[in-house]
A and B are shown apart, each in its own frame.
Chain A
Amino acid sequence: MRVVVAEDTAILRAGLVQLLEEEGHEVVAAVPDAEQLKAAVAEHGPDIVVSDIRMPPSHTDEGLRAAIELREHRPGLPVLIFSQYVETQYASRLLAGSSAGVGYLLKERVLDTRDFLDALERVAAGGTALDPEVVSQLVGASPSRGSVDRLSPREREVLGLMAEGRSNAAIAQLLVVTERAVEKHVANIFLKLQLPVSAADHRRVLAVLRHLEG
């Protein structure tokens, strides 16, 4: 895949580039701020953007704003956003448009190389990747927590993995159960939360998130 990386800390930028290249991806540009990120995307038209949230000049949410802006001009441009903090507000803003091809991960997820590349590919393919931390905070802060409490522990686990953007097959593998069992859990969840059933993974994420946001 052709990747544009935006990260202001030089040491992390270099690390990301090395990791991606060793895994066989092509980093077409690695830039330190949001302005250069926009320029790089315009120039290279990458398959996916990997960007930090906090970048110069104000060190607040430049990366996030740039990502949202980029997706307005290029709908469906896959964007994987990194942050050292979990901010449910960031996730909500990022998912406000469409959750197709959107990822929001904590920086330390990079350390689980397999997981990170998984997320990267999922987002590039138009799926969703949300950090488990983000999901658990969304669940925790959800106004419709009451309905989530009605779920069994296993169903809550499945709900979390669904919100992270994983497919039934991936969930089955992670929980070491059959795909059939996962499908049953999912159906139960949708029934208990009164959600419209949706086949596509990213639509499913969106439905779950909308529900959690109340």
Chain B
Amino acid sequence: MRTIGRALRAPFAARARRELLYSLLSLPLAVLGVAADLLTVLVGLFSAGLLVLPGLPLILGLVRALGWMYRGLARTLLRLDIAEPPRQPRRPGFLGMLVFHLADPVAWRTAGYLAIRFPLGLVQFVLGFAWWVYSMFFLLYPLLWRIQQLTSHNSHVPADSSGLALYGYHFGSWFDAVYVSAFGLLCLLVWPWVQRAPLVLDRWLMPRLLGPTETSLRLVQLTETREHAINEAAETLRRIERDLHDGAQARMIALGMRLGRVESRLGRGDTEQALVLLRESRAETKEIVQELRELVRGIHPPALDSGLEPALTTLAARSPLPTTVRVELPRRPPASLETMLYFATAELLTNAAKHSGATSVAVTVLAVEGDLRLLVTDDGRGGATLDGAGSGLRGLAERVRTADGRLDVDSPPGGPTTVSIQLEGR
């Protein structure tokens, strides 16, 4: 019942009105589009003589502008969101400028769309706008007929020749007028679906020809993640440098200074004081070794050499929270993925210990349909988000993305929190 009701109201729905406007605009846009295409071809042909070559970039600019307009119309009138396709980087020089404009796949794909759009736009205009105009005309025919009759009252037109003439038949009586009106109503009721028929094709075409291609999207993603990876690497190196500079290096110098004092004490024959300083020096050496060990672990954990499971178990043992580890993998993943999972686990365990208030954590690594999945679950208070300030999850998610992976957070208020990382197992 409700479906029928909705179908009957469809001609008056906002969606039908928006599509009607789109159908109306289809005619001028189709003409403009085909004109741009023809110009492109003509200038392109003439450009073989290189005379009007610089004109081509201009026309392709127009083509791109039309593509931009279509994307705008699709968004506002068809509720179809098409992302702006990314442009290729521009090389310097006149030749670079030409290549930038002429070898722009976005412009040429748009030109292709405009070519298809010409017949499609005409059909859209006829089935969408013209159909609606005729439906309205038929529907309101009794009114129009009556007005015509009144205005031509004193004229010499015979009564039976008044009104609409179709195939030699005159709809000149009240009965005829109502009949035409009923036909108009029928037309209007089916109009939304008639109008939508060519739109089905249009909706299929637009994202493919006006939107970014999968390759270009991939390119954007790779550029972003690569930049991130480079910054991350630089940041890591800087941190290691700082740790060494302020830590082991400074302590070694201090140790050296102490040994210098031992030397001068011994020179003076003050063996007792020298012994005290020597003992201090030995203790200092031990601390330096410990510090270096920590630093080395941060660069590459030695336990990782013997596999992910022993490495994660070592990590769990060092965590302040009781942590269980389960690794079920048919074979060893590539070293790069193992390292990523290890450091991700380390970070998530630190997060859990710091922020969650949990009493236990479970770490699971599984192979799911060839992919690697890491799950870190704690029984804490939950409420962790990717955007949460200071959660550090954002940075981790970015890092996972550089390896074409995904990080998801499931953390309802009150807990438990599960962070899952999925990596493509190659």
Contacts and interface: CB of A to CB of B under 8 A. Distances in A.
A15 interface: yes
A107 B260 CA distance: 14
A16 B254 CA distance: 8
Contact of B260 (A9, A54, A111): A111
B251 interface: yes
A19 B261 contact: yes
Nearest to A107: B253
A45 B264 CA distance: 30
Interface residues of A, number: 18
Interface string A83-108: 01000000000000000000000011
Contacts of A108: 253, 256
Which has the most chain A C-beta neighbours within 10 Å: B249, B253, B256?
Answer: B253
Contacts of A112: 260
Contacts of A16: 257
A200 interface: no
Nearest to B263: A113
B260 A59 contact: no
A16 B253 CA distance: 10
Max chain B C-beta neighbours (<10 A), residue from A11, A14, A22, A54:
A11
Interface string A19-30: 100100000000
Interface residues of B, number: 16
Interface string B240-280: 00100110011101101111110110000000000000000
A9 B264 contact: no
Contact of A111 (B242, B249, B256): B256
A22 B273 CA distance: 13
A11 B251 contact: yes
A11 B253 CA distance: 9
| Main DSSP-derived SS at the B contact region | helix
B264 A110 contact: no
B245 A15 contact: no
A12 interface: yes
Contacts, number: 42
Interface in A129-156: none
A108 B251 CA distance: 11
For A12, A15, A16, A110, the residue with the greatest tally of chain B CB atoms inside 10 Å of its CB is A15
Given A11-B251, A12-B250, A22-B264, A84 B257 contact: no
A173 interface: no
Nearest to B253: A107
B260 A12 contact: no
A16 B264 CA distance: 15
B10 to A, nearest CB: 66
Nearest to A116: B260
A18 interface: yes
A9 B264 CA distance: 24
B249 A15 contact: no
B245 A54 contact: yes
A64 B242 CA distance: 19
Given A9-B246, A54-B245, A111 B264 contact: no
Contact of B261 (A9, A12, A18, A59): A18
16 contacts: A11-B254, A12-B254, A12-B257, A15-B254, A18-B257, A19-B261, A59-B242, A84-B245, A108-B256, A110-B256, A110-B257, A110-B260, A111-B253, A111-B260, A112-B260, A113-B264
Interface of B: 242, 245-246, 249-251, 253-254, 256-261, 263-264
4 A-B pairs closest in CB distance: A111-B256, A15-B257, A9-B250, A15-B254
